[in-house]
Amino acid sequence: MDISKTTIEEVSNLLSKGEISSVELAKKCLGRIDEVEKKIDAFITVDHEGALRQAQESDIRRKQGKTLSKLDGVPISIKDLFCQKDIETTAGSNILKGFVPPYDATVVKKIKEAGMVILGKNNLDAFAHGSSTENSDFKTTKNPWDLSRVPGGSSGGSAAAVASGEVFASLGTDTGGSIRQPASLCSVVGLKPTYGRVSRYGVIAMASSLDVVGPIAKTTSDVALMLEVIAGKDDLDATTLDEVVPHYSEEIGKSIKGKKIAIPKEYFASGMDEDVEKLIKDAVDKIKYLGAEIVEVSMPYTKYALETYYIIQPAEVSSNLSRYDGIKYGYSSIFNDRTQSLDNLYETTRKEGFGSEAKRRIMLGTYVLSAGYYDAYYKKALKLRTLVRKDFDEVFKKADAIITPVSPTPAFKIGEKSDNPVQMYLSDIYTVPINPAGVPAISTPAGFVNREGKKLPVGIQVIAPHLCESRLLNISYQFEKVRNFDNNYPQL
């Protein structure tokens, strides 16, 4: 069995038939990690011993007829932003190096309760600040399709691990595109659920009003299966929605004939790579072939979304990262100099522990929240956020879903945008508006463009109204059936 091409759905069937054991699966994945990890650098931590123990426990349950779920025994990974009991959790930052949580994040607890096997923690831009996974304090993850290029970010380690066949799925987070953009650049499926659909308890916060937890997998069906496990109300997260979790995997497969799909003209403005635009328009034609009605719409406040996001997000970053002071947990400069004053301890710890991107966002956020600038920037951004959300509300009065690009370009070279933060931020121009609006969106592979003799993936983005994950999953699933390319996985 070639695990790099095998889906969760297929593995689940093999496990239920007894044609393979969870231990065998875990060993195959760990073997794959040993084989390609030096090239990819998708993991910060690989838990060999813990993974095999979890797999053994799954096999015992299966023999006793006590299987916890249809995904019991399936090996996955999680972004190193989720607290996992007794496993180092760094958020990709030196300031949390050595931090071992005494508890599991709610989504990690749900994954364990479903019997899934956690192989390890994936690399990310530190504190999820980035679009390339170059901002990790530990390593730079490479795109499996071209090792000289980025996998996207901040969940680049998760997307690269799935694309390279190291795991069957991974959990990531999405604050402005951090699941969807790497999914697009690595030719896997990535879902950003409705804000509040999945608990954030135990997830190291970047921007609390924007952060969303979601799955990355090889197919839409696999993403649906993962969402069934992690979605739901959580008393430990007051922002979660008290809504019944549908059986997403059973609701896909319905015809989309007659569905109205909106194409916003603002998402096809100048700046998009010509080959990317051609693939997106080809994907729209295929959606039309399936019987959907394509309607052009205008979303006039889209042009303000990026600016709005990069005021609100750094402001929340400034607030959330103030807790890392060298006193409570994580890195502390006190071990280097026990005679320094408290103020010096704070200053030195943060100077040594935070990377340059975290410092940049802390300073930006502190500035827009400061006296004299709060009304001019932050308060105005909150008003614009309402208008961005209104754009989506108006479109969804006349359309069932929206289709847009995910990224204006295919994966760029490692180091290409490192010295130009604004250019890096523009990588998320098509994904950012969705988070302030709080609506769900998915990135699905749409094809490849050729660059320097390499195939580079491109994805399409499907957006739906609040809590309409079933709708966008179904559109994504139907598109998978008619796209005219073989989504083989990269040769490493």
Domains, the chain? 7-255 (3.90.1300.10)
Give the dihedral of Cα atoms 196, 201, 202, 203; nearest 10 deg. Answer: 20
- The catalytically annotated residue of 4, 131, 136, 154 is 154
CA 380 vs. chain centroid, Å, equals 28
How many Å apart are CA 150 and CA 387, to the nearest integer? Answer: 33
Cβ contact 170:117 at 8 Å = no
What integer pLDDT is reported at residue 71 of this predicted model?
A: 98
Candidates 134, 489, 482; CA nearest to 291 is 482
Contacts of 368 (CB under 8 A, 6+ apart): 311, 314, 315, 374, 377, 378, 381
What integer pLDDT is reported at residue 1 of this predicted model?
A: 80
How many Å apart are CA 105 and CA 390, to the nearest integer? Answer: 32
Edge-to-edge order in the sheet of strand 212-217: 43-46, 117-122, 75-79, 169-174, 212-217, 189-192, 441-451, 454-463, 401-405, 260-264, 293-297
341 catalytic? Reply is no
CA 21 vs. chain centroid, Å, equals 29
Per the DSSP assignment, residues forming a β-bridge with 212 are: 174
- The catalytically annotated residue of 22, 131, 132, 178 is 178
249 catalytic? Reply is no
112 catalytic? Reply is no
What pTM did the predictor assign? 0.97
Candidates 324, 320, 311; CA nearest to 376 is 311
Residue 260 has phi, psi (to 5 degrees) of -95, 120
Residue 209 burial class via C-beta count within 10 angstroms: exposed 0-12, middle 13-18, buried 19 and up? middle
Contacts of 286 (CB under 8 A, 6+ apart): 479, 482, 483, 484
| pLDDT tens track, the chain, 492 positions | 888 889 999 999 999 999 999 999 999 999 999 999 999 999 999 999 999 999 999 999 999 999 999 999 999 999 999 999 999 999 999 999 999 999 999 999 999 999 999 999 999 999 999 999 999 999 999 999 999 999 999 999 999 999 999 999 999 999 999 999 999 999 999 999 999 999 999 999 999 999 999 999 999 999 999 999 999 999 999 999 999 999 999 999 999 999 999 999 999 877 899 999 999 999 999 999 999 999 999 999 999 999 999 999 999 999 999 999 998 888 999 877 777 899 999 999 999 999 999 999 999 999 999 999 999 999 999 999 999 999 999 999 999 999 999 999 999 999 999 888 888 988 899 999 999 999 999 999 999 999 999 999 999 999 999 999 999 999 999 999 999 877 678 988
Cβ contact 298:108 at 8 Å = no
How many Å apart are CA 393 and CA 215, to the nearest integer? Answer: 25
Q: Which residue has the tokens 């508890």?
A: 103
Cβ contact 154:44 at 8 Å = no
- The catalytically annotated residue of 4, 12, 22, 79 is 79
What integer pLDDT is reported at residue 224 of this predicted model?
A: 98
How many Å apart are CA 411 and CA 174, to the nearest integer? Answer: 18
DSSP-derived letter for residue 465 is: S
Contacts of 153 (CB under 8 A, 6+ apart): 124, 125, 128, 130, 131, 132, 133, 134, 135, 178, 181, 182
